[in-house]
Amino acid sequence: MSDIRVRFAPSPTGFLHIGGVRTALFNYLYARQQGGKFLLRIEDTDQQRSTPEFEQEILNSLKWLGLDWDEDLVHQSKRLDRYREVAQELVAKSLAYEFEGAIKFKIPKTEVKVYDIVRGEVTYDSKEFDDLVIMKSDGYPVFHLAVIVDDHDMGITHVIRGEDHLPNTPRHILLQQALGWKSPKYAHLPLIFGSDGTPLSKRHGAVAVSEYRNKGFLPQGLVNYLALLGWNPGTPQEIFSLPELVKQFSLKRVIKSNAQFNPEKLLWVNGQHIRAIPGEDYEKQITEFWSGKLDPMPEEKWRKLVTLYRPRIQTYGELKDQAAYCFSEPEYKDSAMIAEIKGSAVTLGLLTQLKETLSDLGDFEDVQILDQKTKQVAEAAGLKPKDIIHPLRFVLTGGTASPGIFELMSLLGKDVCLDRLKRFLS
């Protein structure tokens, strides 16, 4: 074990969002990679906006993602006496003073060097800073004081946080120096932007982790994608498990430039993870996800359905849309396609012949027989298999894309297939 200690410090004033998770993840990966500790601190001094519900949601999201923390949770709201004690210590040393019921820290006029692991050395001139309020008149600490006291008391060695905190760092270093404390090492992560070049927000789509969970994303898919936002493994590999990320992670490979959130890439990564998990895990997870949300169907049919769509879905939540025609009658919205099929005597003849041929079969269990019989109908008319398969797919699904047509016919079953053919032809 190393003596490295890092922390993730969310405020329970809202749901855990993508930017927060990426910060938590990089802290987690660094701690695990170095054999150190990953700690969790709840920054709940905003009495108006902090709620136990938001705190619980943050904890649930981190657990779901597999980002387990070490040691007990630290709550800032339980440490108010400690912040007041430190503020008074600064007043006693004439390094802070009371002002309209608040306490202000006297900013020493000097050059402050921040040695940042990601950015390199950044220099600030503190002559440009005003004196800093560290305790409000209501007796509550401001962020700047609480953070440095907590980091000191928790023995934090590395502070890994968003780049938006970089301008706070020189003030924190000055406070630490005034108290005679050693500053932790800092690493400021690039911000995450939407495709339009503005900081990621609700207008770019889902931002809360819980929304992704409700849509049927896999935790490992989300973690994998977020790890690649602002970090480069230095190899072409894009699909990682959490243990692989831990093994390869390095703060030296964090990119300085802003990361761009790409929802399509996230879907692709998630789809790769859906195809990578063992079959029984996939079946169990997608069944749990849809439990109570769909009309029940026989177990054997459900198993066939989820197996057939596994190569096609990117999230568990996509199943119902992708396979809508398995749950209800198809909608024929493509008027050009309807006109093309119904305007062709040859195509209608093929479909009519197919309906009669299929009526003579037993059940539709054997995919090879369905394949053989369908193609025989086309060949008997001197045509190619696609001349019957394309219109048949449209009749059965209302669309032009689906899994393999014969597997799909076997899944839908004889009665449904014949009924749809009959109704379309009439």
Q: Which residues are catalytic?
A: 202
Angle (deg, nearest 10), helices 386-397 and 335-342: 130
What Å distances lie between residue 81 and 141, 147, 295, 304, 322, CA to CA? 10, 14, 56, 62, 57
Q: What angle do CA 231, 233, 237 make, to 5 degrees?
A: 125
Angle (deg, nearest 10), helices 386-397 and 414-425: 100
C-alpha–C-alpha distance, residues 104 and 131, integer Å? 6
How does 85-121 read in b/e, with b if 16+ C-beta sit within 10 Å?
ebbeebbeeebbeeeeebbbbebeeeebebebbbbee
Q: Provide long-range contacts, Cβ within 8 A and 24+ apart, for 75-82.
A: 75/41, 75/42, 75/44, 76/41, 76/42, 76/43, 76/44, 76/45, 76/141, 76/146, 76/150, 77/42, 77/44, 77/45, 77/50, 79/146, 79/149, 79/150, 80/45, 80/139, 80/140, 80/141, 82/149, 82/153
Beta bridge pairs of residue 40: 8
Position 370, amino acid? L
CB 179 within 8 A of CB 190: no
- CA neighbor of 7 nearest in space, from 162, 127, 154, 140: 154
C-alpha–C-alpha distance, residues 8 and 249, integer Å? 17
CB 31 within 8 A of CB 62: no
Name the phi and psi angles at 69, rounded to 5: -100, 160
Please state the separation of Cα 123 from the chain's center in Å. 35
Is residue 108 helix, strand or coil?
A: coil
C-alpha–C-alpha distance, residues 31 and 151, integer Å? 15
Which residues have CB under 8 Å from 329's CB, separation 6+? 420
C-alpha–C-alpha distance, residues 205 and 182, integer Å? 41
